[in-house]
A and B are shown apart, each in its own frame.
Chain A
Amino acid sequence: MNSTPPAIGLVLLTHGQIGRALIDVAEFILDRSLADIRVVSFRQSADEKTGDEEIRKAIDSANLGHGVLVLTDISGASPCNQVMRLPFSTEVAVVSGLNLAMLIRAWNYRDKPLCQLADLAVEGAIRDIRKCQ
């Protein structure tokens, strides 16, 4: 798939280095750079204002004019809660339960409209969770 616009911007908002690690693995698997995806590592020690600023910057920087999908690792935890209470000037969708399958799917379908992309990301993540043996 090519990366010509319109494309949805992607942001990974996770505890620690989870987001960075997933990007590294996805880049290895797909054999291409995912540098367009912004990564925010949530730090418990950082004050709320700094965290808000980091999230805003990442969303602004990821936005190509068609909205941004934020993928977080777990619902109800601070990174997810923090982004949920922020107002944004652009359209933002937030999905929790980030895994490698979700990331790859979101990347592959980023030319879809934001709402549909969020559904595809969720579906891709769930589909990959199964009893393998």
Chain B
Amino acid sequence: MLQREVTIGNKLGLHARAASKLVNCATSFAADVWLRRGEREINGKSIMGVLTLAAGKGTVLGIRTQGEDEQQALQELIQLFEDRFGEDE
């Protein structure tokens, strides 16, 4: 199992379209993906779950991956956050 913390950098935060990109990325891996905000952890492959995090810019989230391709899954998910989900700001 791997885990890392990320900070949301895009202006709109983890809004619906960004959440969709995250879920599409997560579901492309066999590994289980979990996102944590504070004490609350949700399935990173569920868009409705991701949206309930209501995570705005600056929010720190924990990403946890577990499974045979956990390393690549974690890496690509972190990349999405670092790229601000492809958004300009």
A contact set with B: CB distance below 8 Å: 1, 28-31, 101, 104-105, 108, 124, 127-128, 132
Contacts and interface: CB of A to CB of B under 8 A. Distances in A.
B47 A104 contact: yes
B4 interface: no
Give me the 5 closest cross-chain CB pairs, A-B, nearest first. Answer: A29-B16, A29-B20, A30-B20, A101-B48, A29-B17
Nearest to A125: B48
20 contacts: A1-B27, A28-B17, A29-B17, A29-B19, A29-B20, A30-B20, A30-B47, A31-B17, A31-B20, A31-B21, A31-B24, A104-B47, A104-B48, A105-B48, A108-B47, A124-B48, A127-B52, A128-B48, A128-B52, A132-B54
Contacts of A128: 48, 52
Contacts of B20: 29-31
Contacts, number: 24
| Most chain A beta-carbon neighbours within 10 Å: one of B19, B48, B54 | B48
A72 to B, nearest CB: 20
A10 B57 CA distance: 36
Contacts of B27: 1
Nearest to A128: B48
Nearest to A25: B16
A108 B49 CA distance: 13
A26 to B, nearest CB: 9
A101 B17 CA distance: 14
A105 B51 CA distance: 13
Interface in B1-47: 16-17, 19-21, 24, 27, 47
B9 to A, nearest CB: 21
Contacts of A28: 17
